[in-house]
Chains A and B, each alone.
Chain A
């Protein structure tokens, strides 16, 4: 047997227009889908493959937990290859089954008759196996219609063109099913013939239910045809080939389109269809491992039935339907991790954007300006010296190559942690991760930061003078990396000093002494040793020597006097309730898990954090305060208002 299937990429007509969709068929437990297939009639023999392909994907989705917990269920109706029966089937699916969508309905004639009924009722019509552009037109270009079958005219044009060029066909004839299938395929046949400087020598139509094709084939023979193109589906394909063979006609080639080029035609026709050429969307004989695996899976599920390309296509189209936003998110994440576009024009505009970010968050922000200076003074060697947004001259001068190198280094799967929180199942997420993320190539890990910040052996001071209404004071102490054992004690200290209006610093600086408008702290989770920064906004006209003196006094108390039991209890209560607050949203949960995994070394530490906090004693507080909050270890940055 000799056949040739030309591969054509699926030309997908996805319509993205506004929709008024019907929300029927969706309950807390399930999503009901419907379809109508030719369970009887001339193409019935091919339907089990198509139906099983669809069922296989639906079963897989349900096995992985469904869609947001809802299982898919499909109701199958018979259209008997007849338009009026298709309309009746769609009517039944909408009215009595209340389906959410009609998926994979079969046949150009039946779909042409039924599509309008569905979209007018607000029911999604997904992937009709039919002449796509004709169905689109009939639906009034409804945004509820999604077609997946490549347009037959395009496919036939390519097929005929290939045949003519390959075999030097001179006289092309055309036998077609009357209706949308034949019309659309005919358009492609004619355009290809014309493009090769030929004319169609004979045309002959037949009706859907016809079983005798002798007159059509005779007409082809009479015209001296050397290539017969047939717009057929199942039974007619075999019928026409059988007529050709009966005549003992050897010097002719027969080409069918995607609907006629199916495994079931081979099964039914056997030797009769030997010599038939077919054009379609899937290259037969593909024995890629994933296809083989899929075939084995299909056979296992369906009693050793040999799948054909329609079974695979039906599976694929069905897969596109329940694809949720999750697929899109994974696809986008994988895409931007691998394929970032470096468009020089966008890079230049982004340079302006980043500079604007710097102007906003640093140059025109007193807090930002002082913070940058504090860090630059506190870190003399370690890269934390540098502001993340970059110094102005950095922003002005980074090059395309710099960006590409940085992208390649950082945005690699071996350098990322993905956290997914929400209405998902682990099985589904792992399926998607394997599909989208696993194929991403690893990169060499980012170079280790070898430079360690040397111990600070004396207080540093930075001053900024500029026009301002209020002074600002930032006082930073070097503290260890997030994974360090002292991190929890530092969090408790932070609560004692700054959480709430009864905290030591608020009570002293803001309330009692009225030196400051507010006082806070900025504990930073960091990979390498970082800074714990106190942030004071002194009241207008207050000498910053007074605010810092008050802060140092409070710190000294913490270093020298054990924290009273009830005050420690209060701080712990604040931290524990704060944890619940962070767990309120799915984004908060994801953020916590990610922070613990990346900065604290293990997301599991999140689940023991309560215990870790409980374990902190007054002695721990005193020891940790004494260790880090020393004069030699601090950098004091002050912004002093200047009259303009």
Chain B
């Protein structure tokens, strides 16, 4: 009776209503600050999510890590509060405050009880708009960031990402300059203050309020809070920068490793690519879920790994499509060959109508809880819509975009983007045991020691 049950599932999928963004409003203040309000009163919490356009892309050459360090220092002293006072007030409210940089923006996200709306906004805005970057605090943050970079090397899965980015994108690309001991050493208070003044300007700010709040009160408060922010100069992102990716291999030697971690990358897409929907479906089947080609082959059928997947970068500039997995040292070659076989199979044979239908159902079925369930998820979605110049069709038309992908289109996309050639390999493991095995995968091979500072850059 298996078919009967599958049938029921299909029917259920068909009956699920298409997701829609809840009602929200957007306005722009004269100084350029964009305000969003999205009420979602399911729990008595309110979220402030502030995006500062620029992020890693806006870092001055040689100062990789400055956007993250600046973001971390926002809470470490303002014209009205010391670092300790900020933490004391925040924790007393049971609030959270997170500041981090991604490739195209810095995100400051805080969350408070509904009743603490005013106090929460005051804390968040004070950190964002009036930081003083005390010298002592700058030193602490830079010193900790330096140890964080070191500590990443103790965790191969965390370390291989920056190595891959440096190697795939190259140092001329903003995504190819990971934070290292050397770049952090050049960051001082003066550099941070100068960077913050330029970056945290009205024209770069997107302020999103989502969750349980009173809209008229919130609108008035936000307008007042951000009206006086200097407009400054809008960040203009670099254009037409391409990864230097190609057929080459980076080997990172970690002599105590008993597993080999590897990534195999090729040119992918930008967040706004028209091919994105089809790639999402193809990647779901190739390595985006548990029952995928890669995981079936490398995990389920052969037991070579705990998990194998495929990642599609989705940033402003075109990024990578990357196979990522690991295996014990002895099966390095077998696992890499098997991953490449799957890539070749996808490229040559494509997918079937049944697979496409399954991917469509999977993406639709997992979408609401991945992106639309909580106020902070919705705030994240609005932020993406603003930063990437999208509109609410990003959510509202998603299912019809998915439905519109035909088998022919999907297979053309598979052929175009999943090519078994010109691949960038990054391999981390015991080089003494795998060097001779992996060198065949690319015409050129570089080798670095995991214990050396930096990420091969």
Contacts and interface: CB of A to CB of B under 8 A. Distances in A.
Interface of A: 12-14, 16-21, 23, 26, 31, 67-68, 100, 124, 126, 143, 146, 320-328, 331-332, 346, 348-357, 359-360, 363-366, 466-470, 499-503, 507, 510-511, 514, 517, 537, 539-540, 566, 569-570, 573-578, 580-581, 583-587, 644
A143 B361 CA distance: 14
Contact of B14 (A21, A503, A574): A21
Query: Closest 8 CB pairs between A and B?
Result: A352-B303, A577-B94, A349-B303, A323-B8, A500-B91, A18-B357, A502-B87, A573-B94
B403 A20 contact: yes
Interface stretch (B140-148, B162-170, B417-425): B140-148
Listed residue (B14, B328, B358) with the most chain A CB atoms within 10 angstroms of its CB: B14
Given A500-B87, A586-B373, A18 B353 contact: yes
A14 B7 contact: yes
Interface in B9-59: 9-18, 42-45
A585 B14 contact: no
B153 interface: yes
B45 A581 contact: yes
Given A359-B258, A644-B256, A18 B360 contact: yes
B366 to A, nearest CB: 12
B217 interface: no
A573 B93 contact: yes
Contact of B111 (A126, A354, A360, A581): A581
B328 A540 contact: no
B4 interface: yes
B150 A470 contact: yes
A356 B325 CA distance: 11
A627 B70 CA distance: 43
Does more than half of chain B's interface fall in helix, strand or loop, or is it mixed?
Answer: helix
A67 B90 contact: no
Contacts of B112: 577
Contacts of A577: 45, 93-95, 112-113
Listed residue (B156, B306, B357, B407) with the most chain A CB atoms within 10 angstroms of its CB: B306
Contacts of A573: 91-94
B220 interface: no
A324 B8 contact: yes
Contact of A360 (B91, B326, B354): B326
16 contacts: A12-B3, A13-B3, A18-B407, A320-B8, A352-B303, A353-B303, A356-B259, A359-B328, A365-B155, A366-B155, A501-B90, A502-B91, A514-B140, A577-B45, A581-B45, A584-B375
B326 A356 contact: yes
A26 B358 CA distance: 23
B348 interface: no
Contacts of A356: 259, 299, 303-306, 326-328
B91 A540 contact: no
Listed residue (B7, B144, B258) with the most chain A CB atoms within 10 angstroms of its CB: B7
Nearest to A11: B3
Given A580-B113, A581-B45, A12 B7 contact: yes
A569 B407 contact: no
Given A359-B259, A365-B155, A327 B5 contact: yes
B412 interface: no
Contact of A26 (B17, B90, B299, B357): B17
Contacts of B45: 577, 580-581, 584
A507 B90 CA distance: 14
B440 to A, nearest CB: 24
Given A353-B306, A356-B328, A360-B306, A470 B154 contact: yes
Nearest to B43: A580
A506 to B, nearest CB: 8
B84 interface: yes
B406 to A, nearest CB: 8
B11 A124 contact: yes
Contacts of B87: 500-502, 507
Listed residue (A467, A540, A566) with the most chain B CB atoms within 10 angstroms of its CB: A467
Contact of B153 (A20, A26, A469, A575): A469
A13 B6 CA distance: 11
A352 B304 contact: yes
A212 B96 CA distance: 84
B157 interface: yes
B369 interface: yes
B356 interface: yes
Contact of A16 (B6, B154, B258, B302): B6
B303 A351 contact: yes
B172 interface: no
Nearest to A642: B256
Nearest to A323: B8
A584 B356 CA distance: 32
A584 B43 contact: yes
Given A26-B17, A355-B303, A570-B91, 14 more contacts: A13-B3, A14-B6, A19-B10, A23-B17, A124-B11, A126-B11, A324-B12, A353-B300, A353-B306, A540-B150, A577-B94, A578-B94, A581-B43, A584-B373
B62 interface: no
B354 A16 contact: yes
